[in-house]
A and B are shown apart, each in its own frame.
Chain A
């Protein structure tokens, strides 16, 4: 059985846990409950004709209380950088975290997820910034843990990248 360790990264309250819960258990809760430390979930999926176990490390969001623990990143095959589309500052936070990961692990497969696309009327993230990142060959998906939009695609896309 192929196993791939995937880390969920982003600052607090962007929806990392909600994305994992949507993907693994098909559930969503409106209630915000901050993550402490790390919770590891497993989801098996088919990537091409291979069966892959994704070990999803749902890490606490960076905030004034907890900085990213580098030891959590060890052995990661890839990661999902998550930003909240309704809070522009979370994209800055995601870019900072990417730099941290690059220093710790080198370049490994990742996707940027701009979450909460169900709240388009509250959208703050600048589309121009996203366009510039796309020009730098970033893979960016807009997701909603609430409706499920883009969630399966995101995890499958990252799993596929890790198999290349």
Chain B
């Protein structure tokens, strides 16, 4: 079950040291636009989610649904250990696309509802103004 899940989710990993040099790497790196990485490479500018995102000693950070390359979402796990910083990527594209469809529909419906409420409020204000003017005319 674990192997099936890992294969299905295109697991990829990197281990980097404190100087952002790659110590170890493997898995489906190509899925995430990282197929060109090599051991010993400086990867400081390759993982945008690491920049300005400190990970403390023996700490784990999970960043769900990060767009890591065009059209590809990954659940990013950053695990700090003595050996260095593990970055584990699990494909989340299918889930993100499904969520996007639902969210898009839901938000568009909510925006329409809000717009209807706004227009009704304007209509009521206009009707009150008309009623007021009518009353003024009638009293003359």
Contacts and interface: CB of A to CB of B under 8 A. Distances in A.
Nearest to A124: B118
Most buried by B among A60, A63, A71, A122: A71
Contacts of B65: 36-38, 60
A72 B75 CA distance: 12
B111 A13 contact: yes
Contact of B67 (A3, A39, A65): A39
A38 B67 contact: yes
A37 B66 contact: yes
A55 B73 contact: no
A4 interface: yes
Interface residues of B, number: 28
A38 B66 contact: yes
A55 B65 CA distance: 17
A147 interface: no
Given A36-B65, A36-B96, A40-B66, A5 B103 contact: no
Nearest to B62: A71
A37 B61 contact: no
B73 A37 contact: yes
B53 A37 contact: no
Contacts of B54: 74-75
Given A36-B65, A66-B103, 5 more contacts: A4-B52, A34-B104, A38-B66, A63-B106, A66-B99
